[in-house]
Amino acid sequence: MDDGEQAAREEWLLLVYRVPPEPSRLRSAVWRRLKRLGAIYLQNSAAALPASVAAERALRKLRSEIQAMPGTAVLLSCRVLAGSADVHQAFQAARDDEYEEIVDRCEDFLAQVAKEHVASHYSFAELEENEVDLVKLQNWFRRVRQRDAFGAPGRAAAEKALAECAQALEGYAARVYADQTDSH
């Protein structure tokens, strides 16, 4: 079975909605929620997610919230009859974009740790701050991975970048502990 045949068998959930134009925060709230779920827009006000129990639950809840705005929303369960490879690729590209953003933030993290080394700034406060930043990156990755239904290619680069961050933080921590021991 080739990728096109596989994509044609994928089950999707499609939320088609309309929200009042004002206040604009309502449209923004819906957009943010759909983005957080990992949905892709097929066109304005038509967002798709690979079918799963969790995705259906989340979209049913969002549909209810849209209707309370007051807006309208329909949630469909479907397979793509034509253009399935395009939908699949759009979903993969959205995950790859998220993974790429994580890699970029990992590069920032590594630069920050390197800066601390250059400045010989080895303190528990900096270590704790960097640990918090790494946990945020790891949690972000975990959320993206959870919505990565098809294993987007960018996942490997994000995993590698996070491993490099963990290794850099471990080296920094060792230096902090060594400096604290030497000064006492």
Same domain flag for 30 and 59: yes
Per-residue pLDDT tens over the stretch 68-92: 999 999 999 999 999 999 999 999 9
Q: Which of 82, 101, 126 is the endpoint of a domain?
A: 82
Query: So what's the pLDDT on residue 95?
Result: 97
Q: Which of 59, 82, 105 is the endpoint of a domain?
A: 82
Query: So what's the pLDDT on residue 98?
Result: 97
Q: Does a structural domain hold residue 148?
A: yes
Same domain flag for 65 and 116: no
Q: How many domains does the chain have?
A: 2
Query: So what's the pLDDT on residue 5?
Result: 56
Query: So what's the pLDDT on residue 7?
Result: 62
Q: Does a structural domain hold residue 143?
A: yes
pTM: 0.86
Distance, CA of 42 to CA of 4 (rounded, Å) = 18
User: What residues of the chain score a pLDDT lower than 50?
Assistant: 1
Query: So what's the pLDDT on residue 51?
Result: 96
Query: So what's the pLDDT on residue 126?
Result: 93
Number of other CB atoms surrounding residue 13 within 10 Å: 21
Q: Does a structural domain hold residue 87?
A: no
Distance, CA of 69 to CA of 119 (rounded, Å) = 53
Per-residue pLDDT tens over the stretch 151-162: 999 999 999 999
Query: So what's the pLDDT on residue 121?
Result: 87
Q: Which of 30, 50, 82 is the endpoint of a domain?
A: 82
Same domain flag for 67 and 109: no
CATH number reported for the structural domain that contains residue 62 in this entry: 3.30.70.240
Give the domain extent around 158. Answer: 92-182
The DSSP bridge partners found for residue 15 are 47, 75
Query: So what's the pLDDT on residue 179?
Result: 81
Same domain flag for 12 and 49: yes
Query: So what's the pLDDT on residue 3?
Result: 52
Same domain flag for 130 and 68: no
Which residues touch 20 (CB under 8 Å, ≥6 apart)? 26, 69, 70, 71
Same domain flag for 99 and 57: no
